[in-house]
Amino acid sequence: MIGMWQVCDDCWTYYALERFTEWGIANDRRAGRDGANLGSDWLGGGSGKVSDGAHDQEARRGRESPQGNQGDAEEDRGDIQGAEAEVHESINIASAFDLPVIYICENNLYGVGTYQPKVRGIEDIADRAAGYGIPGVIADGNDIMAVYNATAEAAQRARKGKGPTLLEFKTYRWYPHFEGDKDPRPPEEVASWKEKEPINRFRKVLFKDNILDVKKNKEIIDTIKEEVRVAVKFAHESKEPELSEALTDVYKQ
């Protein structure tokens, strides 16, 4: 089972990506054991238990994908969550049992408004991997190919039964933690990181390698704008959901 644990500083959800990709249900967002969304935890960093438990149970049941492998999980979190006890507990268990989990830290330097290097004794979160006896890898989180290559290598390691990997992607967010929040970050720091924006960087690579041209680039942008316009129109024209929908897709035994 391949999965992703996605985070926005302190909001966590664990997804079974193999069920998106290899099992051919790419649009399936159902929650629960048989769906792609395996649930979230109110506590920032708490869903590591979900990834560990899901993959331990997959192994105990002998469940495999149609391709004949149990795949791996990907757990995606923010830099501030690395200080949560449950994160350490989850990685430790995954290491002890060689669970196929990829732990990804999106290090954007700030936990809400706190500059993280001021509240921890190490500069690189990937250094913590040594304490679990697993590889710790740092990559440029604003370089699409660097992220892809680091993740692909970790996934290959997990699929070979060699256990988890901790990946740290150095990145940044353009805006404060939430809309309306007073931004504590230096304006010049924000401006310098905006120059490293990943989409334009990757676009230049595609142009250089003759994979993309001006015409195709415009077609892609126009298509995306139209998709957004249609989605916004659909949202504005849609009725509010019925109260009976509140528990739809919520997993229960």
Per-residue pLDDT of 107-156, as tens digits, reads 999 888 888 888 888 889 999 999 999 999 999 999 999 999 999 999 99
User: Domain 3-196: what homologous superfamily?
Assistant: Thiamin diphosphate (ThDP)-binding fold, Pyr/PP domains (3.40.50.970)
Buried b (16+ CB within 10 A) or exposed e, 142-176: bbbebbeebbeebbebbeeeebbbbbbbbbbbeeb
Whole-model pTM: value is 0.71
Per-residue pLDDT of 155-194, as tens digits, reads 999 999 999 999 999 999 999 888 888 899 999 999 999 9
CB 176 within 8 A of CB 183: yes
Q: Residue for token digits 């120059």?
A: 195
104 has which bridge partners? 76, 167
Per-residue pLDDT of 28-65, as tens digits, reads 444 444 554 555 554 444 555 555 555 555 555 554 44
